[in-house]
Amino acid sequence: MKRYPPELFSSEELQDAVEVAELVKFASIHPVDGTLCDPVFAPFVCTNRNQPAIFCAHLVRSNPLLEILSGGPLACRLVFQAADGYISPSVYAEKLKSAKVVPTWNYVACQFYGVLEQVPDRELLDLLAHQVNVFEQSQDSNWKLEDAPADYLKQMASAVFGIRFTSERCRAHKKISQNRPSDRSAIIAWTQTLHTPFKSLAHWMADSGDT
């Protein structure tokens, strides 16, 4: 069976996948056995970058995964999608020579296969504090969990539960025109002119109709 995506566009090196995951932070959770028809979405922090890579997150207690995980660990796949975009054949040098060119879509993503389990409630506040620190630092902000009143934190924490994902194997996918090295500069220039406001969080908030 041929490998897909082709080896040119993918890697099984752990650090390649962790690099993408740490930049993206937001993943979809897919139970391998099809326990849930729909994926679950959550922001994750990487708490161990070596083998096995470990990612932690939290979900609201009404999430169906709570009941499932209460019965024990669950085999899952985490998918982090970093970036993607249309590449026009108009930028390829071959267009002027033979016109034998077609469009493509480039993308960067990674996926991890492993086991998801519930974090003991006694570890929840430490997990939340670590998540907040990672996310705040990534935005050059400095809010801390303890900045909120203790009784309010207790109330809010009681509404969520922690999850821990331990990776067994992974793949990083980077389809970024490696097969067209001579067109690299033109492709980079093309991507810099793409008008894709729908990939901005501000776009969706501004168009939501909320005031």
- pLDDT at position 210: 61
CA diameter of the chain: 70
Residue 1 lies inside a defined structural domain of this protein? no
Residue 211 lies inside a defined structural domain of this protein? no
- pLDDT at position 113: 97
Residue 2 lies inside a defined structural domain of this protein? no
Question: Which residues on adjacent β-strands are paired with residue 169?
Answer: 113
SS3 72: coil
- pLDDT at position 1: 65
Residue 143 lies inside a defined structural domain of this protein? yes
Task: Name the H helices within 87-177.
Answer: 94-97, 124-138, 150-157
pLDDT, tens digit, for every residue of 23-76? 999 999 999 988 877 899 999 999 999 999 999 999 999 999 999 999 999 999
Residue 18 lies inside a defined structural domain of this protein? yes
Give how many domains the chain has, as a whole number: 1
Rounded Cα gap, residues 87 and 76, in angstroms: 32
CATH number at residue 104: 2.30.110.10
Residue 128 lies inside a defined structural domain of this protein? yes
- pLDDT at position 208: 67
- pLDDT at position 199: 85
- pLDDT at position 114: 98
Residue 134: domain span: 7-206
* Token digits of residue 121: 């409630």
Residue 197 lies inside a defined structural domain of this protein? yes
**pTM for the full predicted model:** 0.92
**Contact at 8 Å (CB) between 165 and 17?**
no
Q: How far is CA 104 from the centre of its chain?
A: 22
Rounded Cα gap, residues 140 and 81, in angstroms: 23
Q: What angle is formed at CA 200 by the lines to CA 194 and CA 205, rounded to 5 degrees?
A: 140
- pLDDT at position 202: 87
| Ranges in the chain, pLDDT < 50 | none
